[in-house]
């Protein structure tokens, strides 16, 4: 007799803490008598030929501190369900049926899907197709509704802070303006948290369109006061009030989301032109996704994994693990992916940044 099984997969972009979630899932599921199958390379592992590996406490005993995911992941392929901010596409019904039939053939009682809003939107379609789904929110941007925080975010912010610590010294030595571009397509949480913790002088985020003239005037005033360097943090999705989002090119072969990037270089070019001060820019890019997770992300990831198994045990399918008021709970996935969680332009966090003299460009 085939034992009752829980499937688990990691989908979308990687981030620190994914392996901690897998550790939590496998450990909690095993103690409840489930066998765990880890599907490889995201949702693609559900399709013919099915690709999976059996996971047990021994195979995940020392992975929580590792970055990335031992199962592999992808944001390409036949399950891509996100084509832009808030825009979703329908998965081919034949693909959904194939995945459902393969889960049933393997006696997978429930499928735990770890991913961002696009991946969770895919999980909802699987749920409607007949697969018992539980979601685990994953995004370094920290922009998923219905959860106060997601694993990977703290690690990304720590990367930004470490980078700023290093760049401050060279900026002061050469009396330069430094522009640091962080991730954050549509939400500025990483730039805001990283900039505040790392001593940024100006922080530009997607939620507050900025003016080059005001950022330039801010840097010139600092120089007139004898402050030799200025550190500007800009989220990749930030854009000038009288301009538009900076993009590199469309997704691979025209599929998926448009690739955002280049704003850091544009800001640096404008600052040098407007201030006459030597300016350099740095794009942190995938450095923010890589490396080992912080202690906070290891703990949060492990608890998310345990919480996901608890939702399976309670038959709360179509739900996502949620973190609120230091407690792990669950909310409907449909509620979580209704829209992304962005920085309130007039909220307390932005107000506090302004109160300590940080320029936000408006």
State the DSSP string of 263-317: HHHHHHHHHHHHH---EEEEE-GGGGT-SPPPHHHHHHHHHHHHHHHHHHHTT-T
DSSP designation for 3: P
From the list 14, 117, 141, 143, the catalytic residue is 141
Helix (H) or strand (E) holding 156: helix 153-174
State the Cα–Cα distance between residues 257 and 342, nearest whole angstrom. Answer: 18
By the 8 A CB rule, do 287 and 309 touch? no
State the Cα–Cα distance between residues 224 and 343, nearest whole angstrom. Answer: 32
- Residue 180 has phi, psi (to 5 degrees) of -115, 120
Please write the tens of the pLDDT for every residue from 58-81: 999 999 999 999 999 987 777 765
Q: CA-CA distances (angstroms) from residue 120 to 82, 88, 165, 358?
A: 10, 11, 35, 35
Which residues 6+ apart lie within 8 Å of 292 measured at CB? 16, 65, 66, 67, 155
pLDDT at 250: 55
Cβ count near 135 (within 10 Å): 33
By the 8 A CB rule, do 126 and 111 touch? yes
Using alpha carbons, select from 67, 226, 239 the residue that is nearest to residue 158: 67
Helix (H) or strand (E) holding 169: helix 153-174
Min mean pLDDT across 45-59, 84-98, 210-224, 232-246 is at 84-98
pLDDT at 256: 53
By the 8 A CB rule, do 319 and 332 touch? yes
141 is catalytic: yes
Mean pLDDT, all residues of the chain: 92
pLDDT at 259: 76
Domains 5-151+293-336 and 155-290 share a fold: yes
By the 8 A CB rule, do 164 and 208 touch? no
Please write the tens of the pLDDT for every residue from 308-355: 999 999 999 999 999 999 999 999 999 888 889 999 999 999 999 999
What beta strand segments (E) does the chain contain? 5-10, 35-39, 52-55, 82-84, 87-88, 108-115, 133-137, 177-182, 202-204, 230-235, 247-249, 259-260, 279-283, 319-324, 327-332
- CATH code for the part of the protein at 5-151+293-336: 3.40.50.450
Q: What percent of the chain has pLDDT over 70?
A: 94
Averaged over 174-188, what is the pLDDT?
96
pLDDT at 88: 60
Q: What is the fold, at CATH topology level, of the domain defined by 155-290?
A: Rossmann fold (3.40.50)
Please check the confidence at residue 165 and state whether its pLDDT lies above 90. yes
Which residues 6+ apart lie within 8 Å of 222 measured at CB? 201, 230
Using alpha carbons, select from 323, 333, 327, 330 the residue that is nearest to residue 133: 333
By the 8 A CB rule, do 43 and 79 touch? yes
Per domain, the residue ranges of the chain are 5-151+293-336, 155-290
């Amino acid at each position: 007799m085939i034992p009752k099984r829980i499937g688990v997969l990691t989908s979308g972009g990687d981030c620190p803490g994914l392996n901690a979630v897998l550790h939590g899932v496998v450990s909690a599921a095993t103690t409840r008598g489930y066998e765990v199958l880890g599907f490889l390379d995201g949702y693609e592992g559900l399709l013919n030929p099915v690709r999976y590996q059996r996971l047990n406490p021994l195979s995940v005993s020392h992975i929580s501190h590792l970055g990335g995911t031992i199962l592999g992941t992808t944001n390409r392929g036949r399950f891509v369900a996100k084509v832009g901010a808030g825009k979703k596409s329908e998965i081919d019904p034949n693909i959904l049926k194939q995945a459902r039939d393969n889960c049933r053939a393997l006696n997978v009682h429930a499928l735990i899907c770890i991913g961002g809003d696009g991946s969770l939107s895919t999980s909802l379609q699987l749920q409607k197709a007949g697969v018992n789904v539980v979601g685990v929110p994953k995004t370094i941007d920290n922009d998923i509704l219905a959860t106060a925080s997601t694993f990977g975010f703290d690690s990304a912010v720590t990367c930004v802070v470490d980078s700023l610590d290093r760049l401050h010294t060279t900026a002061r030595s050469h009396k330069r303006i430094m522009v640091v571009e962080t991730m954050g397509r549509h939400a500025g949480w990483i730039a805001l948290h990283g900039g505040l913790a790392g001593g940024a002088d100006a922080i530009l985020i997607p939620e507050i369109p900025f003016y080059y003239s005001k950022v330039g005037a801010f840097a010139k005033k600092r120089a007139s006061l004898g402050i030799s360097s200025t550190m500007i943090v800009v989220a990749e999705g930030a854009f000038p009030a009288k301009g538009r989002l900076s993009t590199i090119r469309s997704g691979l072969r025209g599929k998926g989301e448009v690739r955002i990037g280049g704003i850091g270089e544009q800001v640096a070019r404008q600052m040098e032109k407007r201030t006459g001060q030597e300016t350099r820019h740095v794009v942190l890019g995938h450095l923010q996704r890589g490396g080992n997770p912080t202690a906070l992300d290891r703990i949060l990831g492990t608890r998310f994994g345990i919480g996901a198994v608890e939702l399976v045990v309670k038959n709360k399918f179509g739900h996502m693990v949620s973190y609120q008021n230091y407690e792990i709970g669950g909310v409907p996935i449909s509620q979580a992916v209704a829209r992304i969680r962005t920085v309130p332009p007039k909220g307390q966090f932005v107000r506090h940044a302004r109160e300590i003299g940080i320029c936000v460009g408006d």
